[in-house]
Amino acid sequence: MTDPRRRLPAVDALLADPDVAALAATGPRSLVVRAVRETIDAARANGGSAPPEGWSAAIRSRVRRLAALSLGPVINATGVVLHTNLGRAPLAQPAIAALARVGAGYANLEYDLARGARGSRHGLCRDLLVELTGAADAIVLNNAAGAVLVALSALARGGEAIVSRGELVEIGGAFRIPDIMARSGATLVEVGTTNRTHLKDYETALTPASKLLLKVHQSNFQVTGFTAQVPAQEIAALGRARGVTSLYDLGSGLLVDLAPWGLTGEPTVPQALASGMDAVTFSGDKLLGGPQAGILLGTRAAIEACRNDPLARAVRADKLTLAALEATLALYRDPERALAEIPVLRMLTESVAEIRRRGEALQRGVGAGAELVEGESEVGGGSFPGAKLKSWVVRLTPGPRPLTPDTLAARLRAGDPPIVARIGDDRVLLDPRTIFPDQVETVARAVRSALDG
């Protein structure tokens, strides 16, 4: 018997098909050729059988898929507020307006309008960060991993940096403190043990080659039981006494205390600075609720060294980031306004009653197959690890028809816009905490058609 894969049509033969030729005549030819190739490849991978809907229909739908932009909005129904895979923080309206305004034309990114001469992009968010946090100086870079790399390079290159073994963490996406340390040109000196490190461990590790004491916030995990880590304040004091710089990789960048909403254990940026550490790094798109960015705050000397490090140029922030970050930070001048308008803070501090109301609207919108039950949401994004937020979730029960939770979730993801749900206890769960009020109707409609389809 001949292998059916031998009988697959050639690219040119399919391009000559009248329907396909019409596509190529009206649309971009390179796109149609790619769609033809990929349709043939898919058929080959499928054992060599022609697409069930026919070649030209399969090619047409592939052209449509390929023509659409690959990055697009999704609805987050997981209840994980800072979902790294879903782009972390949604931006506040003023931040969106600022990046649209700046992105659409030229901007004074590196231009001093008063002097009519070259300026510095590093000045843009600096004064606002100083005003809000009390830091002596500030610099904004591409992301927090980049900020840590720059700080290690500027403050510890060619010398030793001392870190607790309990803080040699992996943040995710292959960002490991020992690796980043090696790239920065600093020599890692590990002290203490995984569960316990004492001030004495840092003291005995200090040598004339010591340049930096590093503290890394344990942002994405909890160590429980017989544990001890040295508070930032004591590390900072030791560094000052011995003439060694101190750096605090804080991670999340919380600017307002969320303890009144039951979220404790995550140090705020002002607290981290008040500990006396020379420099503090954190993300723009975690609890701060802005765009991806790495923010470095600290003493004049420490920040000046970071600003002058060649790596700072390699991981500099772009104009869209700076525009969105400045507009987000400006909201913090009025903390009430920050809590109301920055989506991450609004979602984390929303009352359970309000979430329940949105859940009821969603449940009513779906009708049969949906029930509202008590549940929990997560902060996510390596912030407040282990914290559970009381919530109400819509639990979907596919009627008499066999529809596995995976199939139902896949149908929701295939929609436009895609809806990402979570699965718990073998059911699809929709958490209204991360579903925006103006998305409830869209989600209800999509769920109805996924349950019926």
* Contact residues: ligand PLP, CB under 6 A: 143-145, 148, 171, 175, 216-217, 219, 249, 251-252, 283, 294, 382
Residue nearer to ligand PLP on the CB measure, 244 or 296: 296
101: tokens are: 């305004």
Closer residue to ligand PLP, CB minimum distance, 344 or 362: 344
The H or E element containing residue 189 is: strand 187-191
Taking the least distance from each CB to ligand PLP, the nearer of 20 and 99 is 99
**Residue closest to ligand PLP, measured at CB:** 251
If the CB atoms of residues 137 and 266 are measured against ligand PLP, the closer one turns out to be 266
CB of 314 to ligand PLP, least distance (A): 14
Tell me how far, at minimum, the Cβ of 227 lies from ligand PLP, in Å.
Answer: 17
| C-beta closer to ligand PLP: residue 275 or 363 | 275
Smallest gap from residue 385 Cβ to ligand PLP (A)? 10
Pairing label, strands 111-112, 117-118: antiparallel
Pull the structure tokens for residue 81.
């507020």
**Token digits of residue 223:** 């160590």
Print the SS3 string covering 300-369.
Answer: HHHHHHHHHCHHHHHCECCHHHHHHHHHHHHHCCCHHHHHHHCHHHHHHHCCHHHHHHHHHHHHHHHCCC
Residue whose CB is less far from ligand PLP, 144 or 279 = 144
CA atoms of 55 and 42, how far apart (whole Å): 11
Distance CA 265, CA 164 (A): 19
CA dist., res. 67 & res. 31, Å (int): 8
Length of the chain equals: 453
Residue among 294 and 405 whose Cβ is closer to ligand PLP: 294
Alpha-carbon distance 198 to 192, whole Å? 7
How far is the CA of 65 from the CAs of 17, 23, 74, 83, 196, in angstroms?
20, 14, 16, 26, 53
Beta carbon of residue 108, minimum distance to ligand PLP (angstroms, whole number): 26
Nearer to ligand PLP, 138 or 144 (CB): 144
CB of 225 to ligand PLP, least distance (A): 21
Q: Which residues of 253-269 are buried (b: 16+ CB within 10 A; e: fewer)?
A: bbbbebeeeebeebbbb
Instruction: Provide the strand spans (E) within 222-303.
Output: 245-251, 279-283, 294-298
Closest distance between ligand PLP and the C-beta of residue 142, in Å? 8
